[in-house]
Amino acid sequence: MHAALTLTQFILREEALHPQATGEFSSIMLQIALAGKCIARDLSRSGLLDLIGSTGARNVQGEEVQKLDERANQTFIAAFDSSNVVRTLISEEMEKPLTITTAKQPGKYALFFDPLDGSSNIDVNAPLGSIFSIHRLASSGEPVNESDLLKTGAEQVAAGYLLYGPSVSLVYSCGSGVHQFILDPGIGEFLLAAQHVRVPARGSLYSVNEGNYHKWPSGTRRYLDFLKEPDAASGRPYSSRYSGCLVADVHRILLKGGIFLYPAETKKPEGKLRLMYEAAPLSFLLEQAGGRGSTGREPILRIQPKALHQRVPLIIGSREDVRQAEEFIQTA
Ligand code: P6P
């Protein structure tokens, strides 16, 4: 059992390595951790409180908003309200960015987040997550217009996720490797579990909703058929793991290797997942861990966004597995 290093101690130690650091990034990470603890508490009691089920409203994506989706969104907002480091919040649950106007001076950062990923798992006690992405704003003070927010994934200052499973994990990177923390609910602290996490160059797991097989272009179908052909020399057939929660499925791939796909469909070439607060932060993490995040045709981190809630196909995981998937997809 290694000495317990709290998230706070770890972040302050990392901050000390950067003399020019002002502590603003550290405070953002600690507020995200606070939001994660509050959401974990709500999820652990959701069946007992009137938090199960939908609000009856639909979000910007046209998806039914679960009560816990909205509560998680409000939890993130409350964690940053009157913040003088984050100026703008962009959420899957809000059509427009929310500018923090209660701070003494405007913050320098924008926080993109999916407050509760995998909502369909709420009612069946299966894993859920929160995903976040932090960008530095070009200018402070002026009202932030949308074009200031449309930055590539490569420009992220930091990214990460919270995974609400049998334990609560916080995984993040600020460009110097990927670090994992686990919440000790007895003391309410995230403790360091692993630093500089590396994803295996190739795995033996694949994660995809096979119910969509008939919707995929031929190259994607041929890739999935290839993964299922027996061939001991290449570790095939791969094993299938799919939870319906992007964070849970990508976390497994980060630790064990393999590939997650939510690919382009013939009638939906843009796929389902969102670029700014799902594909880009997760691709930032996987690339930091030696893996790769792609649409199947180009690196996620190089995409120049055109809209805040833009969707992209996502093929992410072990570098060799993603490259092989790209070869099949591009020779369709
Ligand atoms: P499907 C959850 O709604 C989500 O956004 C991701 O967490 C998950 O990977 C995906 O959608 C599941 O989508 O179409 O397989 O139910």
> What's the gap in Å between 121 CA and the centre of ligand 1?
10
Q: How far apart are CA 141 and CA 119, in angstroms?
A: 36
Task: Tell which residue, 113, 75, 111, 69, has the closest CA to residue 91.
Answer: 113
Q: How far apart are CA 133 and CA 256, in angstroms?
A: 23
Q: How far apart are CA 274 and CA 61, in angstroms?
A: 10
> What's the gap in Å between 168 CA and the centre of ligand 1?
20
Gyration radius from the chain CA atoms = 19
Structure confidence at residue 203 (pLDDT): 98
Q: How far apart are CA 124 and CA 105, in angstroms?
A: 43
Structure confidence at residue 255 (pLDDT): 98
The pLDDT tens digits for 38-97 are: 999 999 988 777 666 777 887 777 777 778 899 999 999 999 997 788 999 999 999 999
Residue 142 has pLDDT above 90, yes or no: no
The pTM of this model reads 0.95
> What's the gap in Å between 246 CA and the centre of ligand 1?
6
Cβ atoms of residues 43 and 67 within 8 Å: no
Structure confidence at residue 332 (pLDDT): 67
Cβ atoms of residues 160 and 170 within 8 Å: yes
Mean pLDDT of the residues in the chain: 93
The pLDDT tens digits for 182-196 are: 999 999 999 999 999
pLDDT average, residue stretch 221-229: 98
Cβ atoms of residues 293 and 287 within 8 Å: yes
Structure confidence at residue 57 (pLDDT): 81
More confident of the two residues 127 and 82: 127
Q: How confident is the model at residue 138 (pLDDT cuts 50, 70, 90)?
A: confident
Residue whose CA is at the smallest distance from ligand 1 atom 16 = 244
Name residue 184's beta-bridge partners.
189
Q: How confident is the model at residue 162 (pLDDT cuts 50, 70, 90)?
A: very high
> What's the gap in Å between 247 CA and the centre of ligand 1?
10
The one-letter code for the residue type at 129 is G
Residue 1 has pLDDT above 70, yes or no: no
Residue 140 has pLDDT above 80, yes or no: no
Q: How far apart are CA 89 and CA 25, in angstroms?
A: 15
Domains and CATH numbers, the chain: 2-194 (3.30.540.10), 205-330 (3.40.190.80)
pLDDT average, residue stretch 160-184: 97
The pLDDT tens digits for 268-291 are: 999 999 999 999 999 999 999 999
pLDDT average, residue stretch 288-299: 98
pLDDT average, residue stretch 303-322: 98
Residue whose CA is at the smallest distance from ligand 1 atom 6 = 246
